[in-house]
Amino acid sequence: MRILGYTAARILVLGVSLLVLYLLGARGILLIALAFVISAILSYILLYGQRERLAGALNRRIEKATSKAANKAAEFKERLEDGTSAEDVDEPDAQAQPAEQDQPAPRG
């Protein structure tokens, strides 16, 4: 919801800038260019607190998502290591069979 509020405030500042410049006589591309420049400056100054709150909320959300991803990655790595260590266990029967299979068949 903070994103919508901030975006609405930015659009409102742009609209007010357009209206004021139009009433002052600016027309065409000059009107649009000046409105964007002026609204950017005014938004930077007037919406500072709202922008900081929005940035903080987004940072918390990103940290939460990355911590979840890191936890899942660590869990996956642990399961993978458990699986590979289980495969590395030496079984006497398993070693004897491949050695017998490597011998060539007798000709005769």
Give 85's pLDDT tier (boundaries 50, 70, 90): confident
∠ Cα 27 31 33 (to 5°) = 145
∠ Cα 94 100 105 (to 5°) = 150
Q: In the chain, how many domains are there?
A: 1
Residue 108 lies in a domain: no
Residue 102 lies in a domain: no
Residue 35 lies in a domain: yes
pLDDT in the model for residue 102: 60
Residue 63 lies in a domain: yes
CA 48 to chain centre: 23
Residue 79 lies in a domain: yes
For the entire predicted model, the pTM comes to: 0.59
Give 1's pLDDT tier (boundaries 50, 70, 90): confident
Q: Measured between alpha carbons, how far is 49 from 15 in angstroms, rounded to an integer?
A: 21
Residue 97 lies in a domain: no
Q: Domain residues for 12? A: 2-84
Residue 104 lies in a domain: no
Residue 92 lies in a domain: no
Residue type, 11: I
The pLDDT of 59-74, averaged and rounded, is: 87
Polymer length of the chain = 108
Percentage, residues of the chain above pLDDT 70: 81
The HSE-up count of residue 5 (CA atoms within 13 Å, CB side) is: 10
Residue 17 CB neighbour total at 10 angstroms:
21
